[in-house]
């Protein structure tokens, strides 16, 4: 009865070795040269542990919002492309309206200078 579980045990052991092995090899063979700059936390271009009331550039938020918008666009485009034959002309027009709104928003941000970095 237990010999039926041997392939599962071998599969689990190999999975653990393939998952943990490269991490251990990299840790053991990689250079260990820590310095304060490498060990410091990095978040959005400023020190993480400073005054909470410091001025924060709003362009970080604009870039993050642009990333989310285009990430969602791709998330909608892949399923739409798969079922395009089934949804027909209505689906094509609906996606055209969706993409047009995104392009208008992108042009607006571009004209406002949100993508210019100094």
Q: Where in the chain are the domains?
A: 56-112
Question: Is the alpha carbon torsion for 113, 116, 117, 118 positive or negative?
Answer: negative
What would the pLDDT profile of 13-71 be if each residue is shown by its tens digit? Answer: 999 999 999 999 999 998 888 887 777 766 655 566 666 676 767 777 777 888 888 88
Q: How far apart, in whole angstroms, are the C-alpha atoms of residue 115 and residue 69?
A: 14
Write out pLDDT tens, residues 64-103. Answer: 888 888 888 888 888 888 998 898 899 999 999 999 998 8
DSSP-based helix, strand, coil % in the chain, nearest 5:
70, 0, 25
Q: How far apart are CA 92 and CA 99, in angstroms?
A: 11
- pTM (2 decimals)? 0.48
pLDDT for the residue 74: 87
List phi, psi (to 5°) of 116. Answer: -85, 130
Tokens of 80: 């739409």
Q: pLDDT tier at 8 (50, 70, 90 boundaries)?
A: very high
pLDDT at 33: 84
Question: Would the pLDDT of 108 be above 90?
Answer: no
Position of tokens 């047009």? 100
């Amino acid at each position: 009865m237990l010999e039926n579980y041997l392939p599962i045990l071998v599969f689990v052991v190999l999975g653990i070795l393939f998952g943990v092995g490269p991490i251990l090899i990299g840790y053991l063979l990689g250079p260990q040269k820590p310095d304060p700059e490498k060990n410091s936390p990095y978040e959005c271009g400023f020190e993480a542990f400073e005054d909470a009331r410091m001025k924060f550039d709003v362009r970080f938020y604009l870039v993050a919002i642009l990333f989310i918008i285009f990430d969602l666009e791709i998330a909608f485009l892949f399923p739409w492309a798969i079922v395009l034959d089934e949804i027909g002309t209505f689906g094509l027009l609906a996606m055209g309206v969706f993409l047009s709104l995104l392009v208008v928003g992108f042009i607006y941000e571009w004209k406002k200078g949100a993508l210019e970095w100094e």
